[in-house]
Amino acid sequence: MSALSLSGRELAAAVRTETAARAAELTAAGVVPKLAVVVATADESSAWYVRSIAKAAEKAAIVCEVVDLGAGATADAVRAALTRLSADDTVHGIILQTPLPAGAALEDLAGAIAFEKDVDGANPLSLGRLAAGLPAFAPATAEAVVDLLEHHGVKTAGRHVAVVGRSTVVGKPVAHLLLDRDATVTVCHSRTSDLAAVTSAADILVVAVGRAGLITAEHVGSGAVVVDVGTNPTEDGGLTGDVDAVSVAGRAGALTPVPGGVGPVTTALLLRHTVRAAERR
């Protein structure tokens, strides 16, 4: 048996096409959608991600302003940039890239992103509203996981989903989104005892840890659907997920590839959120 590959490229292309059409309508009406990306790191995988956002934005006729404060920036400088962009009427969406400088916490700084411009759901207000079932932008990666499952016809209602990772960027919001879709959700983390026993009992496994090859066949139930959110740089300049695809392919029913799974959908959703934020103004 070899697992079905759940590509994100087709869904991402559809979202980008729809977003570009809406961006063109807005521009014709005199509002040019603009996304600001605040960077305070020299991290190479972050730089790769920012380049891919900027490229996708350009194709969709969305202006992307990268505010690079440098790896030595202070938390105060990051907060000041977010506050300035929040007050700038020409900016509709704001993303704060991680990693952040030492001593700066995302949950703390992201509170400076205006709620209505928080297109990556980083402001704690957005996560709180999401948890309460109220309208807010969800973190794009968490939404990408759910949209990708839906796109491939994977039902979540009544099914047991194990999420590995409990970050505010992926694990927690994805758990809330899946609960809202009537899944039974178990959230695992570094202190979970006997991870394989928990994850192998799930119908659907979502992995967002950041450790290449953490998930092997023993962690996966026979025929389960596996969503690999992890993006770990490889020595040859590529990317690999948290799932050991070779070992898991023989056991899972379906598996998202890395690259080409959750990643492209995430980028497309950030642009969709930016256009939505611009439309609301």
Binding footprint of ligand NAP on the chain (CB under 6 A) = 141, 164-167, 169-171, 188-192, 195, 208-211, 214, 229-232, 262-263, 266
Nearer to ligand NAP by Cβ, of 252 and 268: the residue is 268
Nearer to ligand NAP by Cβ, of 26 and 39: the residue is 39
158, 119, 101: which is closest to 268 by C-alpha?
Answer: 119
Nearer to ligand NAP by Cβ, of 27 and 247: the residue is 247
β-bridge pairing 4-5 and 63-68: unpaired
User: What is the number of H-type helices and E-type strands within the chain?
Assistant: 10, 11
Nearer to ligand NAP by Cβ, of 52 and 184: the residue is 52
Name the minimum Å distance from CB 62 to ligand NAP.
18
User: What tokens appear for 272 in the block?
Assistant: 């969709």
Task: Compute the CA torsion angle 181, 110, 272, 32 (nearest 10 deg).
Answer: 160
Nearer to ligand NAP by Cβ, of 26 and 113: the residue is 113
Q: Three-state DSSP class for 90? A: coil
Residue in the block written with tokens 């949950």: 107
Name the minimum Å distance from CB 21 to ligand NAP.
24
Nearer to ligand NAP by Cβ, of 203 and 228: the residue is 228
Name the minimum Å distance from CB 250 to ligand NAP.
22
Q: How far apart, in whole angstroms, are the C-alpha atoms of residue 192 and residue 27? A: 49
A 10 A CB-CB count for 153 gives: 7
160, 219, 207, 149: which is closest to 185 by C-alpha?
Answer: 160
Name the minimum Å distance from CB 24 to ligand NAP.
26
Name the minimum Å distance from CB 49 to ligand NAP.
7
β-bridge pairing 239-240 and 232-233: antiparallel
Name the minimum Å distance from CB 183 to ligand NAP.
19
70, 37, 31, 82: which is closest to 55 by C-alpha?
Answer: 37
